[in-house]
Amino acid sequence: MSDAVQPTAAEVRAAAEAVKTALDRHLAAVERRTGDDDPAVYEAFNQVAAAAEAYDELLYDRYDEVTPFEIPAAEDALPPYTGPEEPNALSVLIRRDYAVVEPQRLLAQARRVEAADDERAAGTGASGTVHGALGLLFGEFEPDEVASRHKEFGLEEGDSTLWVTAADEPAEAGEWLEAPFEQVDPQRVVCRFDVSSVFDDEADDDLDDDLDSDLDADLDEVDRVDDEDDEGEGDEEDEDLERLDADR
């Protein structure tokens, strides 16, 4: 970035002060919160996130430095729950991603399903294509069984998420079948559960750091014991020499 468009030192300092102010407001909102989904806390959280992001950008542009912390962006967080306190109905939304890593295994499993069903065996031979094989397998097995046996079907798991949303009343039969996922209200999400290899990588990194710390501590202890042994051996040698001198 050229000097002409770089932020000034005063602008960076002002952005830092804005972060401090946002943090104070967030703490005050938390201390006064009226419940788990207090909108004032949610708003203060967003202000902290926005201020921190602005400061981080200015700090980098001016000094080529970054902050040592990361605050998730406001759009990454669910808004506060505004659904019924006692829901009369629930919708469970599930997304599971897979990669087709062994097409031949997938096709072989589909052929077994097709051969076991006389009507399908006399049909169009859908097991001959990957998309046809997927249709056969997901039509034959429940999604949870596919998830537990995905390797048998030549699939590799990707990210997955499960959302539980609240409703005032159950939907009418067939009401949302044409577009089942288009009208999800984030403010009615009771809870969500995400599974991703990203989390595993973060856990592995933390474990590696812990192991490195433990190893360093063990090595320090070994060095300490060796030093004490060396000192002890030196003292014994000095005592032996003193005894020899006395004998002489």
Give 188-213 pLDDT, tens digit per residue.
888 888 888 876 655 555 555 666 66
Return the pLDDT at 32. 92
Clarify whether residues 190 and 149 are in a common domain: yes
Q: d(Cα 173, Cα 222) in Å, to the nearest integer?
A: 71
Judge whether 214 lies within some domain: yes
Residue 61 · residue 2 · CB < 8 Å: no
Q: Is the pLDDT of residue 46 over 90?
A: no
Q: What is the mean pLDDT of residues 10-38?
A: 91
Domain around 226: 196-248
The token duo for 242 is 């003193």
Within 10 angstroms of residue 157's Cβ, the number of other Cβ atoms is: 14
Residue finishing a domain among 52, 76, 100: 76
Q: 150: pLDDT confidence band, cut at 50, 70 and 90?
A: very high
Q: 181: pLDDT confidence band, cut at 50, 70 and 90?
A: confident
Q: Which of 4-18, 65-79, 94-108, 203-217 has the lowest mean pLDDT?
A: 203-217
Clarify whether residues 185 and 100 are in a common domain: yes
pTM for the structure as a whole: 0.51
Judge whether 95 lies within some domain: yes
DSSP 8-state secondary structure symbol assigned to residue 188: G
Q: Is the pLDDT of residue 75 over 50?
A: no
Return the pLDDT at 166. 92
Q: 69: pLDDT confidence band, cut at 50, 70 and 90?
A: confident
| Cα-based angle 105, 137, 141 (whole degrees, multiple of 5) | 125
Clarify whether residues 98 and 182 are in a common domain: yes
Q: What is the mean pLDDT of residues 41-56?
A: 87
Clarify whether residues 64 and 107 are in a common domain: no
Clarify whether residues 57 and 29 are in a common domain: yes
Q: d(Cα 41, Cα 27) in Å, to the nearest integer?
A: 9
Clarify whether residues 168 and 103 are in a common domain: yes
Q: Is the pLDDT of residue 74 over 50?
A: no
Report the candidate in 101, 114, 5, 18 with the shortest Cα–Cα distance to residue 61.
5
Clarify whether residues 185 and 99 are in a common domain: yes
Judge whether 81 lies within some domain: no
Q: Which of 38-47, 150-159, 204-213 has the lowest mean pLDDT?
A: 204-213
Clarify whether residues 41 and 52 are in a common domain: yes
Number of domains in the chain: 3
Q: What is the mean pLDDT of residues 179-189?
A: 85
Return the pLDDT at 241. 52
Return the pLDDT at 197. 81
Beta bridge partners of 90: 166
Q: What percent of the chain has pLDDT over 70?
A: 71
Clarify whether residues 140 and 181 are in a common domain: yes
Judge whether 65 lies within some domain: yes
Which residue is associated with the tokens 């890593």? 101
Return the pLDDT at 242. 59
Return the pLDDT at 2. 45
Judge whether 83 lies within some domain: no
Q: Is the pLDDT of residue 126 over 80?
A: no
Judge whether 82 lies within some domain: no
Clarify whether residues 22 and 40 are in a common domain: yes
- Higher-pLDDT residue of 15 and 40 is 15
Q: What is the mean pLDDT of residues 146-171?
A: 92
Q: Write down the mean pLDDT value for the chain.
A: 80
Judge whether 234 lies within some domain: yes
Clarify whether residues 35 and 55 are in a common domain: yes
Q: Is the pLDDT of residue 111 over 80?
A: yes
Residue 140 · residue 113 · CB < 8 Å: yes
Clarify whether residues 111 and 180 are in a common domain: yes
Within 10 angstroms of residue 136's Cβ, the number of other Cβ atoms is: 21
Residue finishing a domain among 195, 220, 239: 195
Residue 51 · residue 20 · CB < 8 Å: no
Judge whether 84 lies within some domain: no
Return the pLDDT at 172. 92
